Amino acid sequence: MKSCKRVLSLFISFCLLISVSVLAAPVTQADTPESAQTYVSDLIAYYRDYQEDATTDIMRTLDQLKKVDEGQYEAWSKIMDYWSYINTEMKVNIGVTEDGLPQDDSLCIVILGFALNPDGTMKEELIHRLEAGLASAEKYPNAYVVVTGGGTAAENPNVTEGGLMGEWLLEHGLDESRLIVENRAPSTVGNAENTFKILTEEYPQVKNIVMVTSDYHVPRGCILFYSKFVLSALASGKEPLNIVSNAGCYTGSQGYESIALQASGVASVAGVQVSADKRPLSTPSYLTVKQNSPYAAGENLDLTVTAYYDSGYSRNVTDLVEIFDFDPAAGPGQSILLKYTENGVTRQATCTLLGEEEMTHASALIAHLIAYYRDYQESATTDIMRTLDELKTVDVNQYEAWCKIMDYWSYINTEMKVNIGVTADGLPQDDSMCIVILGFALNDDGTMKEELIHRLEVGLASAKKYPNAYVLVTGGGTAANNPNVTEGGLMGEWLLEQGLDPDRLIVENRAPDTVGNALNTFNILTSKYPQVKNIVMVTSDYHVPRGCLLFYSKFVLAALESGQEPLNIVSNAGCDTGSQGYETIALQAYGLSTVAGVDVPADPLTLSKLTGIAVQQNAPYTDGGKLDLTVTATYDSGYTRDVTTLATVSDFEAAGDTVTVTYQENGVTCTATLTVQGEQPQVTPTPAPEVTDKPQVTQKPENVPQTGDDATVTLYVVTLAASLALLGGAVVVHRRRQR
């Protein structure tokens, strides 16, 4: 009974594992590690179903194939390029091949067979193929001629297409020394394989092939022969034969070989099964624009435009964008609009063009910011502020981004708490949060190291604490002896085995380093999970500060380039390692310089030296109030800054006191004195009397100065009194004279 229960338990576990894997597949999408054959199958399916509209996903799949098998990647890069060429650009030469081909025996004309009549005679269409081949052979008399095709006569097994074709050519004058017969394979794929083997082994001078068949069959014949040549060359270590031209007998396109039929043949050449289901196409989510060199009026723009997709993939689309609002006659400083459209979806971005001085200056200033903090940390606050102010005059967008980054860099090294074992309380309890677990280099055999498992345990504990949060695992292939596994893939499998809901799992398994993990994480979350705004970083305890810095800075700069909002790192969790490793601030700086793409000077920069302070009182002091001062520090670099909150004030009790203000920075102390001003006595003016027809004298309080209308009235009264007095005196004198 125990044995039966054990078997049943194992069976149930196996079924659960299979079901979890199936459920998880849509989450990881194309990032899931697969075999080379899977990627080859995807390539064929994408082109079969979408042709050139699948360019992005073909490039993405090729990039994934490269990680698994570089030889297959190179071969299929050639095949996919050629497949596109035959359906978009290749011309079919009717009746005879084109001019300008090699006139020596490096050229070989390959005439494809056609099914024989049941009695073993050639059909008219095959004879027309031979006529086109013979015309081409006469045009290039030094070329060899290969005829291909096995036995296809239902009632006459003793004849072959190749045999009858050879006889016909000899009867029509072809030199026998030029004739090569391949009469073993009844299919185009087999003809291609046999032709490669015969030519590379017996005619090594042959390098260039002219394909001759019916007009409608030229594209399919070319892609099957070309793909077989490339793959046979890869398998044998030889150089592939080149298809340099074609010729088709005219049929009026009585038959049509679809791209789906081409795909079936290519799958047969490759030896893979291709499902009938359509793969989903990647959709562009946003663009970024990078100016590579300074711009001057009249010069060409040197930009790199990158499209980022909902599949997490990104690619260069510089040559495919449209540019608006650009004036070639205008100089730097103009803002241009760039638009990119793919499969009906249009994305746009703006770019302000920088001149040589601005561009060089901005990069140098960013490098100086990193160098100052690397070498001096908080002691470089003044020079970091000075450099940021200078950056603002060059590029205000970079200034705003680097203000955030430098503040965060200081925060992680001075204030941030590392949460051991599980993340902090009080975080959002919805799907706006994502727990990001950083990978760790795998063992050479592709198994996970103990430290990576501890990181996963912490991440899982945090995921249980916040059951609505997504969980993103990061890390590419780092196993020296096992290229088929990735950190992210193994981490995802471990979490699913431990019970994580597959709908919550997101896998980033393309980048082998933290900087690449950060960029890919930003691309995946902003394009596919726009509800995610808040990030919890999970890694080893000693790696938390550096991991947070690199992710945060990449989030900020990627948001600047894409015009999106940056993701916020709201907390962290670290597995306890006893700080067995320690990542220095210099290592943080190195990673940050990689994120920023700047070269940071190795030698320490010189700090600005405090030379003095100035103090200004901004408002009168009232008893019990606050002393309102501004303290400004000056430096030998010519820079000034407000240090009010950092200065100390002594010897102050009340208005009228002379106080001493002291400020110290990097071992230099400066002082300044100030006599504190109180409020001045307030004078309340007396309202002016109402003026009537007869002036009235208003008695003024003693010792109060007369001002305004009061003084005017008083002067009027005095003048009137004096006039009356004079008049009275004149009357008295007059009366005396009369007596």
Task: Please check whether residue 71 lies inside any domain of the structure.
Answer: yes
In terms of Cα–Cα distance, which of 292, 97, 85, 289 is closest to 212? 97
Residue 680: pLDDT band (50, 70, 90) is confident
Dihedral Cα 586, 589, 593, 594, nearest 10 deg: 80
Residue 321 has a pLDDT of 97
Strand-pairing partners, residue 308, are: 286, 314
Q: What one-character DSSP code corresponds to residue 656?
A: T
Residue 685 has a pLDDT of 59
My answer on whether 571 and 446 are in the same domain is: yes
Task: Please check whether residue 314 lies inside any domain of the structure.
Answer: yes
| CA–CA gap between residue 584 and residue 589 (Å, rounded) | 9
Neighbours of 253 (CB within 10 A): 10
Mean pLDDT to the nearest integer, 83-101: 97
Mean pLDDT to the nearest integer, 202-224: 97
Residue 371: pLDDT band (50, 70, 90) is very high
Q: Over 90: is that where the pLDDT of 195 sits? A: yes
My answer on whether 222 and 82 are in the same domain is: no
Residue 254 has a pLDDT of 59
Which residue has tokens 């002219």?
Answer: 210
Residue 471: pLDDT band (50, 70, 90) is very high
My answer on whether 444 and 521 are in the same domain is: yes
My answer on whether 508 and 571 are in the same domain is: yes
Which residue has tokens 């790696």?
Answer: 543
Q: Are 250 and 28 in contact (CB under 8 A)?
A: no
Query: For the chain, how many structural domains are there in total?
Result: 5
Neighbours of 81 (CB within 10 A): 10
Tokens read off for 638: 């010519």
* Summary mean pLDDT of the chain: 87
Strand-pairing partners, residue 711, are: none
Q: What is the 3-state secondary structure (H, E, C) of 591-616?
A: HHHHHHCCCCCCCCCCCCCEEEEEEE
Residue 328: give its domain's CATH number.
Answer: 2.60.40
In the chain, the amino acid numbered 42 is D
Strand-pairing partners, residue 515, are: none
My answer on whether 481 and 566 are in the same domain is: yes
Residue 567: give its domain's CATH number.
Answer: 3.40.50.620
Q: Are 454 and 507 in contact (CB under 8 A)?
A: no
Task: Please check whether residue 426 lies inside any domain of the structure.
Answer: yes
632-659 pLDDT, tens per residue?
Answer: 999 999 999 999 999 999 989 899 999 9
What are the φ and ψ backbone dihedral angles of 541, each rounded to 5 degrees? -55, -45
Residue 358 has a pLDDT of 83
My answer on whether 108 and 213 are in the same domain is: yes
| CA–CA gap between residue 244 and residue 224 (Å, rounded) | 14
Share of residues in the chain with pLDDT > 90 (%): 75
Task: Please check whether residue 179 lies inside any domain of the structure.
Answer: yes
Residue 24: pLDDT band (50, 70, 90) is very low
Neighbours of 555 (CB within 10 A): 27
Task: Please check whether residue 141 lies inside any domain of the structure.
Answer: yes
Residue after which a domain boundary falls, among 675, 705, 732: 675
Task: Please check whether residue 595 lies inside any domain of the structure.
Answer: no
| CA–CA gap between residue 442 and residue 34 (Å, rounded) | 18
Q: Over 70: is that where the pLDDT of 723 sits? A: no
My answer on whether 541 and 564 are in the same domain is: yes
Task: Please check whether residue 346 lies inside any domain of the structure.
Answer: yes
My answer on whether 618 and 540 are in the same domain is: no
Task: Please check whether residue 588 lies inside any domain of the structure.
Answer: no
Q: Are 219 and 246 in contact (CB under 8 A)?
A: no
Residue 366: pLDDT band (50, 70, 90) is very high
My answer on whether 191 and 69 are in the same domain is: no
My answer on whether 57 and 74 are in the same domain is: yes
Q: Are 500 and 463 in contact (CB under 8 A)?
A: yes
Residue 256 has a pLDDT of 74
Domain that holds residue 38: 19-89+257-278
Q: Between these two residues, 27 and 209, which has the higher pLDDT value?
A: 209
My answer on whether 145 and 273 are in the same domain is: no
279-333 pLDDT, tens per residue?
Answer: 999 999 888 888 889 999 999 999 999 998 988 888 999 999 999 999 999 999 8
Tokens read off for 250: 């005219």
My answer on whether 271 and 307 are in the same domain is: no
